[in-house]
Amino acid sequence: MDTLALMRSIPGCRRIDRKGENEFELDIEAGVGSVRGMFLASIRIEGMNYPRSYEMNVNAQGKPGFANGKGTVRLEPVNEETNVSYSGDVQVGGVIASVGQRMIHSLSKKMVNDFFENLKKIL
């Protein structure tokens, strides 16, 4: 994977380093409403079923709290294009959790959608 393309695709990403074949460490600026801050995050890609699907484990820690998530990305070739679908779940804790589950759900969905839109532009 091209780490520069990943960095440009991930909303709020300030740094990304490859830590292994399928592991990355990132600095991400994120937040909900007035609760914002920097997070040290790790992403591990596993369960690869190339070229159909893969799973991602994401863990992030920062002063505003923590976020842990797991998701599955599915790729389906359609003519000359590829349809991408995803499903996942995220748990948050700390001050950032005080803004409410509804806002966090909306933010996580927006970040994932922004990631795929950014990646689409780069590719």
Residue by residue, pLDDT tens for the chain (123 residues) are 688 998 999 999 999 999 999 999 999 998 877 888 999 999 999 999 988 999 999 999 999 999 999 999 999 999 998 899 999 988 888 888 887 677 777 888 888 889 989 988 887
**Residue 1: predicted pLDDT:** 66
Closest CA to 91 of 46, 61, 121: 61
Closest CA to 47 of 70, 76, 18: 70
Cis peptide before 77 (omega within 30 of 0): no
Cα dist. 66→3, 5, 42 in Å? 23, 25, 12
**Residue 24: predicted pLDDT:** 96
Closest CA to 118 of 87, 84, 94, 68: 84
Domains by residue range for the chain, with CATH: 3-122 (3.30.530.20)
**Residue 99: predicted pLDDT:** 77
